């Protein structure tokens, strides 16, 4: 199990748990970061630690602190997701 922050470009994964607290936990849950959800690293911002992930038909950018709080399990690629 790794965190979102450790995904490489285009790598697919599945959310295992969110280990954030307070408003951040709430926000991540509301965006759909719950156990079993597929997520892909789409983009990295030039220079900074901002990363954009595709999840549930949308793309959201998170900073490193937030990315690290989402634990994921990488999944083998190939075949259609769901």
Partner 1 sequence: MKAAGSVAMPGVTAPAEATGAFVVALAGNPNTGKSTVFNALTGLHQHVGNWSGVTVGLAAGTYRHAEREYRVVDLPGTYSLVATSENEVVAREFLVFEDADVVVVVVDASALERNLGLVLQIREFTGRVVVCLNMMDGAARHGVQIDVAGLAAELGVPVVATTARDGLGIANLRAAIARVCAADDQPAPCPVHYPADAEEAVTTLMLDLVAKDPALPAPRWLAARALEGDAELVRRVLTGDAARRVEIPIVTTEEAERMAAATTGALWAEVGRLLEQTVRERAVDRPRLTARVDRVLTSAWGGYPLMFVGLVTAMWLTITGANYPSQWLAAALFWVADRGHEALAWAAAPDWLVGVLIDGVYRALAWVIAVMLPPMAIFFPIFTLLEDAGYLPRVAFNMDRMFARAGGSGQQALTMCMGFGCNAAGVTSCRIISSPRERLVAILTNNFAPCNGRFPTIILIASVFVATAFPPYLGAVVGAATVVATIGLGVVATLIVSGALTRTILRGEPSAFVLELPPYRRPKLLPVIYRSMYERTLRVLYRAVVAAAPAGLAIWLMGNTTIAGATPMSHVAGFLDGPGRLLGLDGIVLVGYVLAIPANEIVLPTIMMAYTGAGAMVDVEQLTGLETLLKGQGWTTLTAVSLLVFVVLHNPCSTTILTIRKETGSWKWAGLAFVLPLALGIAVLIPLVALARALGAG
The three-point CA angle 43-57-19 to 5° equals 70
Contact string 6-35 vs partner 1 (x = CB under 8 A): ------------x-xxxxxxxx-xxxx-xx
CB of 80 to partner 1, least distance (A): 6
Residues forming a β-bridge with 2:
72
Using CB under 8 A as the binding rule, whether residue 41 contacts partner 1 is answered as no
Using CB under 8 A as the binding rule, whether residue 81 contacts partner 1 is answered as yes
Site residues (CB under 8 A) for partner 1, limited to 48-77: 48-50, 52, 54-63, 65-66
One DSSP character per residue, 31-72 reads: TT--TT-EEEEEEE-SSSS-EEEEETTEEEEE-HHHHHTEEE
Residue 66 half-sphere exposure, CB side, CA atoms within 13 Å?
19
Residues engaged in binding partner 1 (CB under 8 A): 18, 20-27, 29-32, 34-35, 37, 42-50, 52, 54-63, 65-66, 80-81
């Amino acid at each position: 199990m790794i965190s979102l922050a450790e995904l490489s470009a285009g790598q697919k994964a599945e959310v295992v748990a969110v280990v954030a607290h307070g408003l951040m936990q709430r926000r991540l849950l509301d965006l759909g970061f719950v156990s079993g959800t597929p997520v892909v690293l789409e983009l990295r911002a030039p220079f900074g630690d901002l990363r954009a992930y595709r999840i549930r038909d949308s793309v959201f950018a998170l900073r490193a602190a937030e990315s690290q709080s989402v634990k994921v399990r990488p999944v083998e690629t190939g075949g259609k997701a769901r």
